[in-house]
Every structure is written in structure tokens, then in C-alpha cells.
């Protein structure tokens, strides 16, 4: 039931306890008890009661006018606050892997800033793989398995992976024909985890695991690895989208196309709270709407 003050306003405006009770969906006696408790608390008589109608006393009318203003102001304030809560504004702090952020996150943030003039963005780039998440950002984007944290998690996509090498590299190193042939090749790694964890390759319901032992370079930059691939330093396990143009021109070759590689999951992390700001909710919604067609970028 509403507060005693609001019930008093209803009685005055409805003209009787019965009419006010009908509006509230309760019993007239319950309404009467609320108003009596209010009168006892204030130490004044607010209503003149009769069997058919209740009218405010002089003091009751004074109280009604003041309380009506307060309730109206409260409703206006609540509407304004709700409007703010539903509008993306203020500073949105985002952390994302460099190349992924440039390709997918920056376009989303540009659209948000255009749509919400009161929004400002701080975007920090990171290596993106297995870095310990923090609460220093509104949203952090990560790739791969996540360490334990108190942050909320939204999965964005599974990123398909491929194996690529340059024609120059394959002129001096026989192209692998099976998963196990990869043991005899030089690899360009994005992170030390790629050396520690096995490559998982699937073909015809058969799964094979291969540990990479010869990592010529470990570089936390997809662009740098792509340059090393082009220069013939080795094989890279990578998403297709940075290599799209090179594959089309034939400068780079995709290896073991008959196999499927385990994808890398991408996540959006954000602080857990009972109230998630509109700027964060809207950004997560837009990220979720992206069609992560990684092999079409």
C-alpha cells in the first residue's frame, strides 16, 4: 500500500475513504487507519468525516497543498533521474585488444558517440590474451580462457582460427600434410600460452593435439605476426580477417584446410553491480549485435 501521506492525498481528491479505497484496491477501513495514524503522528485533525464524504479541515487543506507540491516535485525528479539512468552519458572506459579493437570496437564506439552527445569515451588497447581482468574499466574485452575474477562476463563470439604461412616459407619448408607434421615447423606465437597449450585440430570427428615446440617469435600483436608471416619466418595460428587480402592475392597460403581448429572465445567483462549504467548496458547491447564474421573481414 502507498504511504500514509499519499493515501491522504487520494482521500482528499477522491472525496471519501470508500472512493480512495476503490482506487487502491483495498478496504476503506485500511485507508481510514492509515489516515488516523498520520493524524496521530502530526498531532492535528486533517479530515472532517461523514458517512458519505470526507473533506479537509483548514489545517488539512494546508497540509494537502504542501504535500501535493512535494509529491509532484518528487514525481518530476524521479522522471528526470529515470531519464538519466536510461541515457548513455558520462565517461565510458573500455579496454580491448589492439587489432580487434580497431576492427570491431572503434566502429561501435563511434556510433555511440554520434547517438549520445553526452557520452565520452576512453579506449585503452591491450594484448588481449589472458591478462588479469581489473575493475578499472567499465568494459574489458578479452580473448581466450579467463582467470577467476569478480567481474560479470558476456560472451561475444567464438573466433575461428586458421594456420597460415607465406609461399616463401613453404618453398624451404615442406607444407604440412597432417596435424603431426606441424611439430617440424617454425611457429609465430601471439602469446606464451600458445606454446604451453596444445593446438587442437579436428577432422572427421577425430581430434588431434599438437604441442608447438619451435616458436621463433612470440609477439602480442596480430599486425606484427602478419608481417613476420609475409617475410617467411614461420607459420601463424591466427584469425582469418587480418589475412583476408593476403590470401586473396596468394601471398599467404592457408594450411591444413581439411582440419578445423578450436576457436578462441571473446568476452566482454564488466563490474558486477545491482545497477549497471546505461552507457555500459548500451555498449554491451551493441557489441552483442555485431555479426562477428571474422573470416569476412
Q: Are 96 and 220 in contact (CB under 8 A)?
A: no
Please write the tens of the pLDDT for every residue from 224-261.
999 999 999 999 999 888 999 999 999 999 999 999 99
Q: Establish whether domains 90-159+265-289 and 161-261 are of one fold.
A: yes
Domain 161-261 has CATH 3.40.190.290: yes
- In the predicted model, residues of the chain with pLDDT beneath 70 are 1, 79-85, 127-135, 147-148, 196, 273-274, 291-297
Residue ranges of the domains in the chain?
Answer: 4-86, 90-159+265-289, 161-261
Q: How confident is the model at residue 115, as a pLDDT?
A: 93
The three cell numbers of residue 252 are 599467404
Q: How confident is the model at residue 296, as a pLDDT?
A: 42
**pTM: predicted TM-score of the whole model, two decimal places:** 0.65
Q: Are 182 and 235 in contact (CB under 8 A)?
A: yes
How far apart (Å, rounded) are the C-alpha atoms in residues 212 and 39?
81
In sequence order, which residues have a C-beta less than 8 Å from that of residue 271 and are 6 or more positions away?
Answer: 135, 138, 150, 151, 152
Topology, domain 4-86? Arc Repressor Mutant, subunit A (1.10.10)
Topology, domain 90-159+265-289? D-Maltodextrin-Binding Protein; domain 2 (3.40.190)
List C-alpha distances in Å: 158 to 119, 169, 228, 263, 293: 29, 29, 25, 6, 10
Q: How confident is the model at residue 131, as a pLDDT?
A: 52
Please write the tens of the pLDDT for every residue from 101-114.
998 899 999 999 99
How far apart (Å, rounded) are the C-alpha atoms in residues 223 and 211?
24
Q: Is 27 helix (H, G, I), strand (E, B) or coil?
A: coil
Amino acid at each position: 500500500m502507498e504511504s500514509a501521506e499519499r493515501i491522504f492525498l487520494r482521500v482528499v481528491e477522491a472525496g471519501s475513504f470508500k472512493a480512495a479505497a476503490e482506487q487502491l484496491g483495498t478496504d476503506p477501513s485500511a485507508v481510514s487507519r492509515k489516515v488516523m495514524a498520520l493524524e496521530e503522528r502530526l498531532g492535528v485533525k486533517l479530515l472532517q468525516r461523514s458517512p458519505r464524504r470526507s473533506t479537509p479541515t483548514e489545517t488539512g487543506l494546508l497540509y494537502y497543498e504542501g504535500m501535493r507540491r512535494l509529491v509532484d516535485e518528487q514525481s518530476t525528479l524521479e522522471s528526470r533521474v529515470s531519464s538519466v539512468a536510461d541515457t548513455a552519458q558520462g565517461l565510458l572506459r573500455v579496454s580491448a585488444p589492439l587489432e580487434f579493437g580497431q576492427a570491431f570496437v572503434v566502429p561501435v564506439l563511434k556510433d555511440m558517440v554520434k547517438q549520445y552527445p553526452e557520452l565520452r569515451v576512453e579506449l585503452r588497447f591491450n594484448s588481449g590474451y589472458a591478462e588479469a581482468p581489473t575493475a578499472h574499466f567499465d568494459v574489458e574485452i578479452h580473448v581466450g580462457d579467463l582467470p577467476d575474477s569478480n567481474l560479470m562476463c558476456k560472451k561475444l563470439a567464438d573466433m575461428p582460427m586458421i594456420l597460415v604461412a607465406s609461399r616463401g616459407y613453404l618453398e624451404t619448408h615442406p607444407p604440412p600434410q597432417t596435424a603431426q607434421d606441424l611439430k617440424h615447423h617454425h611457429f609465430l606465437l601471439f602469446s606464451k600460452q600458445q606454446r604451453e597449450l596444445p593446438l587442437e585440430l579436428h577432422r572427421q570427428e577425430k581430434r588431434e593435439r599438437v604441442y608447438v615446440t619451435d616458436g621463433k617469435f612470440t609477439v602480442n600483436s596480430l599486425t606484427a605476426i602478419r608481417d613476420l608471416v609475409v617475410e617467411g619466418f614461420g607459420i601463424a595460428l591466427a584469425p582469418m580477417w587480418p589475412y583476408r587480402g593476403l590470401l586473396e592475392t596468394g601471398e599467404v597460403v592457408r594450411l591444413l584446410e581439411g582440419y578445423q581448429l578450436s576457436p578462441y572465445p571473446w568476452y566482454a567483462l564488466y563490474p558486477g553491480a545491482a545497477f549497471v549504467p546505461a552507457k555500459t548496458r548500451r555498449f554491451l547491447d551493441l557489441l552483442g549485435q555485431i555479426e562477428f564474421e571474422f573470416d569476412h573481414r
